[in-house]
Amino acid sequence: MRKFFSTLVLIGAVGLLGIGRAMAGEVDMLVNKLVEKGILTPTEAQILLHETQAEVAKQNTKGENTALPTWIQTMKLKGDFRLRYQYDHAKATKDEQHRARVRLRLGVESNINEKVLVGVGLATGTTDVTNKDAARSTNQTLGDSFSKKGIALDYAFVQYSPATWAALVAGKFKNPLWEPGDMIWDTDINPEGAGAQFNYGLGSKASLFMNTGVFVLDESSSSGKNDDPMMYVLQPGVTYQLSDDISIKGAFSYYNCANVKGTALDGDTNTNSQTAGSVLENSYRWITPAVEVSVNDPLGFLGEDFPVKLPYLGFFAEYVSNTALDDNESGQMIGLKFGDAKVDGWRKWQFKYSYARLENDAVLDILPDSDRYGGKTGIRGHEGILEFGLGKNVTLALDYYYAQALAKKSSQQPAHVFQADFNFKF
């Protein structure tokens, strides 16, 4: 009876003050008074505080706490931290590096109403646009006499979803385009401008999707002219469930890079064809067909007694051709992955291998994976990565690159890169 009375007192206090105003200190003071009056024992007080806190958290999760604005109730905080050892070596030379590196990314998203989402993210990195890795790396190398490390705006966007199958986004945002590998896009690049994603189901086995983007590459220095370097992308695609265990996803992308000929873009690696003044010599308008096939339990046909179990097997391929050039500079990537479809727990694992070949003017050299020969075009190379789950939200990844320039007489030697990553998600 005594505990019942004290519970009513607490509920009344929380209701009068409002959940948002009934701060932890005020509730503690009230409970302490009940202990002083002999209504509660210290043990009962601790139990009651714990139950009250749990109930408030439950209400916040369900959105039942009307004293808090909806955008606060729906706010999600997420991030990840990566600790990396990296080894770089150029073959046939004595140049090599051993580096300790860190990456921290922290983001928050909130549904300000049922159709509008706002997101902001910070990440380690640099804002020096003369650095070729400014857009495509979030690494910070340890050293420099314990110097402070830079934090930059990684993304800031607003997303409007008029229907369950459509989403429009603007600002600086995660890449809305689908690509089975990283031949064209480094995964750390967050484009700027506007984009849209549409995904419409066709029964239980198939769905159509359309991804689009209008990306701002740079701002023209000429006033009064509509000549800003821009990228326009259209990517229709389809996913189809061939059977219970086999699915296929394919897309055909069209890129048009307007007003880039005769300009010098930040973050370039000087492997696109250039004229005097380090400006681009060519136009860039490329097409990219891509496909990925996924198979669950690929060894299941061998029977349950077969000693080797393989949960997942995938194949992917991608091709690119710059149709703005007479000789159609091109590139291709092929690869496979097997193990678990997703590494999200202890002993989950996946191995992935890919081979990429990219001619000098197939795509803009501000885009490819910065770890594959420094993000250059005019290269060919291999990558193998083994990822292993050490626990919930903790993984170890071992990544090896071997790449070299396509030009046989190039002064640039083949390069080896090895990375050991401990990843922690929160």
Diameter over CA atoms, the chain: 91
Region 390-407 average pLDDT: 96
CA distance 413 to 111: 50
Region 313-330 average pLDDT: 95
Instruction: Classify 369 as helix, strand or coil.
Output: coil
Res 218: pLDDT = 92
Confidence of residue 21 (pLDDT cuts 50, 70, 90): very low
pLDDT in tens, 254-312: 999 999 999 999 999 999 999 987 899 999 999 999 999 999 999 988 888 888 899 99
Confidence of residue 47 (pLDDT cuts 50, 70, 90): confident
- Bridge partners of 275, per DSSP, are 279
Residue 410 has pLDDT above 70, yes or no: no
In this structure, of 61-65, 116-120, 249-253, the range with the lowest mean pLDDT score is: 61-65
Confidence of residue 15 (pLDDT cuts 50, 70, 90): very low
CA distance 13 to 202: 53
Confidence of residue 22 (pLDDT cuts 50, 70, 90): very low
Confidence of residue 130 (pLDDT cuts 50, 70, 90): confident
Region 76-103 average pLDDT: 89
Res 51: pLDDT = 74
Residue 210 amino acid letter: M
Provide, rounded to the nearest whole percent, the portion of the chain with pLDDT above 70.
86
Position with higher pLDDT, 9 vs 314 = 314
Please name the residues in contact with 375: beta carbons below 8 A apart, sequence gap of 6 or more: 132, 133, 136, 186, 269, 365, 367, 368, 369
Closest by Cα among 420, 318, 335, 320 to 383: 335
CA distance 178 to 181: 9
Write down the pTM of the prediction.
Answer: 0.82
